[in-house]
Amino acid sequence: MFKILIVEDDSELRGLFKRVLVKNGYSVRSASNGKEALEIVGAEYIDLVISDIMMPVMDGYELVSSLRESGYQMPVMMITAKDAFDDMKLGFLSGTDDYMVKPINVNEMVLRVGALLRRAEMMNERRQTFGSTELDCDSLTVTTNGQSVTLPQKEFMLLYKMASFPGKIFTRQQLMDDIWGYDTETDRHT
């Protein structure tokens, strides 16, 4: 069972997010600020963090920066009232993986959590061998017959996904959701 850490100073929202995530099969821990969150992450394994930005003691930007500086690579989703592009940009530059603006649809949140966890799970298997071909997630390289090629991240993730499920047919939408995410602005023919 995946464990999600909710970092939100509003106890009602924290409770709502927890109820929705537990109902959808996730284990949930919670903190009311970034400092508490860092203590939890230091004490137990967390698969994904959902964080507000505006919190006392340590805000969401500081939390995400601290996580990344400490080497934690779990996905982070920011859910915040800060809707300006510069706020979103700062969130992504600090290391967040997804960003939602309040008020949110909790069903959309659950879908985004699932997509983030699927992408993270794909990348957790650092090196995979398929026949004579080896895929290295750390360097994004494909090696076959002694020759290595480094791929762009999305192309690598697409190849990894398809190689991990031989014989399985994916819909375009499944690949878009798993590799590009729900908020992509790619052309429908991509």
pLDDT band at 182, cuts 50/70/90?
A: low
| pLDDT given for residue 125 in this prediction | 61
Q: Judge contact between 50 and 77, C-beta under 8 A.
A: yes
Question: Does 188 have pLDDT greater than 80?
Answer: no
Residue 41, number of CB atoms within 10 A of its CB: 21
CA nearest to 33, candidates 50, 48, 16, 55: 55
**What single letter denotes the amino acid at residue 43?**
A
- Determine the topology of domain 3-121 in CATH: Rossmann fold (3.40.50)
Distance CA 164, CA 1 (A): 21
Distance CA 81, CA 92 (A): 15
**Mean of pLDDT values over 162-175:** 82
**Mean of pLDDT values over 32-45:** 91
Distance CA 69, CA 53 (A): 18
In the chain, where are the structural domains located? Answer: 3-121, 126-180
Q: E strands within 46-190?
A: 48-51, 76-80, 98-101, 127-130, 133-136, 141-144, 147-150
At 113-158, the pLDDT tens digits run 998 988 777 556 667 777 788 887 767 888 888 888 998 888 888 8
Question: Does 189 have pLDDT greater than 70?
Answer: no
| pLDDT given for residue 144 in this prediction | 87
Peptide bond just before 103 cis, omega within 30 deg: yes
Q: Please state the pTM of the whole predicted model.
A: 0.67
| pLDDT given for residue 106 in this prediction | 94
**Mean of pLDDT values over 37-44:** 90
At 62-86, the pLDDT tens digits run 999 999 888 888 899 999 898 899 9
At 4-37, the pLDDT tens digits run 999 999 999 999 999 999 999 999 999 999 999 9
- Determine the topology of domain 126-180 in CATH: Arc Repressor Mutant, subunit A (1.10.10)
At 78-112, the pLDDT tens digits run 998 988 999 899 889 889 999 999 999 999 999 99
Q: Given 3-state DSSP classes, what are the helix, strand and coil percentages for the chain, each rounded to the nearest 5? A: 45, 20, 35
- Asked whether this chain's domains 3-121 and 126-180 adopt the same fold, the reply is no
Distance CA 155, CA 131 (A): 20
